[in-house]
Amino acid sequence: MNCSISGEVPEEPVVSKKSGLLYEKRLIERHIADYGKCPVTGDPLTMDDIVPVKTGKIVKPKSLTAASIPGMLGMFQNEWDALMLSNFALEQQLHTARQELSHALYQHDAACRVIARLKKERDEARSLLAQAERQAPLPASAATANVSALSNGKRVSEDGDMGPGSKQMRPGVSESIIAELTECNAALSQQRKKHQIPPTLAPVDALERYTQLSSHPLHKTNKPGISSIDINLSKDIVATGGIDSSAVLFDQTSGVILSTLSGHSKKVTSVKFVAPSNVILSGSADKTVRIWQGSEDGNCDCRHILKDHTAEVQAITVHATNNYFVTASLDSTWCFYDLSSGLCLTQVEDPSNSMGYTSAAFHPDGLILGTGTTEATVRIWDVKSQGNVANFDGHTGSITAISFSENGYFLATAAHDGVKLWDLRKLKNFRSFELYDQDTPTNSGM
- pLDDT at 107 exceeding the cut of 90: yes
Q: Is 295 part of a structural domain of the chain?
A: yes
Helix ranges, 316-441 (H): none
Q: Is 249 part of a structural domain of the chain?
A: yes
Whether 16 and 25 have beta carbons less than 8 Å apart is answered as: no
In this prediction, residue 295 carries a pLDDT of 75
What average pLDDT is seen over the chain? Answer: 82
**pLDDT mean over 182-206:** 80
In this prediction, residue 282 carries a pLDDT of 94
Same structural domain, 34 and 182: no
- pLDDT at 405 exceeding the cut of 90: no
CA distances from 209 to 206, 212, 414, 438, 442 (A): 5, 10, 24, 17, 19
Q: Residue 101: CA atoms inside 13 Å, Cβ hemisphere, count?
A: 6
In this prediction, residue 92 carries a pLDDT of 92
Q: Is 134 part of a structural domain of the chain?
A: no
Q: Is the link from the previous residue into 276 a cis peptide, with omega within 30 of 0?
A: yes
- pLDDT at 48 exceeding the cut of 80: yes
Other Cβ atoms closer than 10 A to 5: 17
Calculated CA dihedral for residues 429, 359, 244, 234, nearest 10 degrees: 90
In this prediction, residue 141 carries a pLDDT of 44
Could you tell me the maximum CA-CA distance found in the chain, to the nearest angstrom?
137
**Rounded to an integer, what distance in angstroms lies between the CA atom of residue 109 and that of residue 114?**
9
Whether 136 and 170 have beta carbons less than 8 Å apart is answered as: no
**For residue 238, what are the β-bridge partners?**
231, 250
In this prediction, residue 305 carries a pLDDT of 92
Write out the DSSP string of 53-71: ----PPPPPPPGGGGSHHH
CA distances from 197 to 153, 193, 408 (A): 41, 12, 14
22 closest CA partner among 46, 37, 5: 5
**CB within 8 A of 232, min separation 6: which ones?**
238, 239, 273, 275
- 241 or 445: whose pLDDT is higher? 241
- 181 or 223: whose pLDDT is higher? 181
Percent of the chain whose predicted confidence (pLDDT) is above 90: 32
**pLDDT mean over 276-282:** 86
In this prediction, residue 152 carries a pLDDT of 41
Walk across the sheet containing 300-306 and list its strands.
268-274, 279-284, 289-294, 300-306
Whether 337 and 318 have beta carbons less than 8 Å apart is answered as: no
Confidence band of 102 (pLDDT split at 50, 70, 90): very high
Q: Which of 11-20, 73-82, 428-437 has the lowest mean pLDDT?
A: 428-437
Confidence band of 425 (pLDDT split at 50, 70, 90): confident
Same structural domain, 181 and 32: no
Q: Is 82 part of a structural domain of the chain?
A: no
CA distances from 299 to 154, 237, 262 (A): 12, 13, 11
In this prediction, residue 60 carries a pLDDT of 63
CATH number of the structural domain spanning residue 18: 3.30.40.10
- 283 or 148: whose pLDDT is higher? 283
- pLDDT at 148 exceeding the cut of 50: no
Q: How many domains is the chain partitioned into structurally?
A: 2
Other Cβ atoms closer than 10 A to 168: 20
Percent of the chain whose predicted confidence (pLDDT) is above 70: 85
353 closest CA partner among 320, 327, 330, 369: 330
pLDDT digits (tens, 9 = 90+) for 351-403: 776 678 999 999 988 899 999 998 888 999 999 888 888 889 889 888 999 99
Confidence band of 172 (pLDDT split at 50, 70, 90): confident
Q: Which of 61-75, 272-286, 307-321 has the lowest mean pLDDT?
A: 61-75
**pLDDT mean over 329-336:** 91
Amino acid letter, 186:
A
Domain that holds residue 34: 13-52
Same structural domain, 44 and 187: no
In this prediction, residue 196 carries a pLDDT of 72
- pLDDT at 423 exceeding the cut of 60: yes
Whether 268 and 228 have beta carbons less than 8 Å apart is answered as: yes
**Rounded to an integer, what distance in angstroms lies between the CA atom of residue 84 and that of residue 153?**
81
Whether 318 and 364 have beta carbons less than 8 Å apart is answered as: no
Confidence band of 157 (pLDDT split at 50, 70, 90): very low
pLDDT digits (tens, 9 = 90+) for 64-98: 666 788 888 888 888 998 899 899 889 999 999 99
CATH number of the structural domain spanning residue 311: 2.130.10.10
**pLDDT mean over 238-261:** 87
- pLDDT at 287 exceeding the cut of 90: yes
Amino acid letter, 440:
T
Strands 13-16 and 50-52: antiparallel
pLDDT digits (tens, 9 = 90+) for 206-249: 888 888 887 888 787 677 788 899 988 888 889 999 988 899 98
**Secondary structure of residue 189 in the 3-state scheme:** helix
Whether 434 and 417 have beta carbons less than 8 Å apart is answered as: yes
In this prediction, residue 90 carries a pLDDT of 94
CA distances from 283 to 166, 269, 290, 308, 372 (A): 18, 6, 7, 12, 16
Whether 255 and 300 have beta carbons less than 8 Å apart is answered as: no
- 349 or 139: whose pLDDT is higher? 349
Q: Is 197 part of a structural domain of the chain?
A: no
Helix ranges, 152-268 (H): 175-194, 204-208
Q: How many residues does the structure list for the chain?
A: 446
Same structural domain, 184 and 44: no
Q: Is 198 part of a structural domain of the chain?
A: no
- 278 or 358: whose pLDDT is higher? 358
Q: Is 230 part of a structural domain of the chain?
A: yes
Q: Is 402 part of a structural domain of the chain?
A: yes
Calculated CA dihedral for residues 358, 363, 364, 367, nearest 10 degrees: -130
